[in-house]
Structure formats: structure tokens, C-alpha cells
Amino acid sequence: MGFQKVAEIKEFEKTEKKLVEVGDKKILLTKVDGAYYAVSNKCPHMGGSLFKGSLEDGVITCPRHGAKYDAKTGKGLGKPKILFIEFKMENNRSYPVKVEDGNILTRISSNRVCRPQKYSIPRFFSVTTFFHSLRFSGV
């Protein structure tokens, strides 16, 4: 599949992010430092909508568990966390973007599907270490 129009530059006059759908995929378009980028809207951790999160200084923060991603590359920058448990960091999927005649185009290849990460308990965490930490914290 080639590049296809997903938005117009003028749509970014008052915002720095936009959610678009290409086929069955939801794509988060962002404007960072005057350039446009596209990543999957589905957080690799547990599928949260990154569009509903924040975008600051080129970093997208997932609203569900706080994972952070580079808006330009999709690279994972901060682990998701639930209470005090940190989860494995995954990179988000990014897509190539180009601008032509005021239009923003992206290319979505269909051979790779971004799925949310399955729930897993970090290796360091176990029931034994949990009770051990309670004992030493005086609880």
C-alpha cells in the first residue's frame, strides 16, 4: 500500500495531535518541532488510546499507566506502571509521513499488526518478595 492522505496541515493550526483512521488502524498524527509524525494510537502495553494522553516536548504519555513514547519514532521512553509495579517497555509502531501540497500522507503496511502487550508480572516481583518488603518496611 502506498502513501495516502490522512489530514491537511491546516488542521494542525490549533492542535498538535489528531486521531485518524486508515482502514482498520487508528493512527495518532502529531506535530513536533514543525514536522509531522505518525504512530499507532494503540499503546503497546494494554491498548490505551495515546490520543487521549498528553503530548509534551515530543513525548506522548499514555493516559492509562503512564508509559512514554517518542512521538517521532515510537521508541519507548518510560515504563508503564500500575501502583508500584513497573512493566516491560515496548516500542510503539511508527509510520512514514510526508507532506505534499498542504496534505499529510502516511503509508500503512498491513503485514504487521500492533497488539497490546499481554499482562505479565515483572521477573523481580513475587509474592515472597512482596511479603519480604512488608516485613522490612515495618507493616
Comparison of 40 and 105: residue with beta carbon closer to ligand FES: 40
Is 62 an interacting residue with respect to ligand FES (CB under 6 A)?
yes
For 79-86, the CB contacts below 8 A with 24+ separation are 80/43, 80/45, 80/46, 85/121, 85/122, 85/125, 86/122
Q: What are phi and psi of 9, to 5 degrees?
A: -55, -40
Residue 30 corresponds to which amino acid?
A: T
Give the contacts of 98 (CB within 8 A, at least 6 positions apart): 3, 104, 105, 106
Is 80 an interacting residue with respect to ligand FES (CB under 6 A)?
yes
Total residues contacting ligand FES by CB under 6 A comes to 11
Comparison of 7 and 39: residue with beta carbon closer to ligand FES: 39
Is 45 an interacting residue with respect to ligand FES (CB under 6 A)?
yes
Is 64 an interacting residue with respect to ligand FES (CB under 6 A)?
yes
Is 46 an interacting residue with respect to ligand FES (CB under 6 A)?
yes
Q: Which residues bind ligand FES (CB under 6 A)?
A: 43, 45-48, 62, 64-67, 80
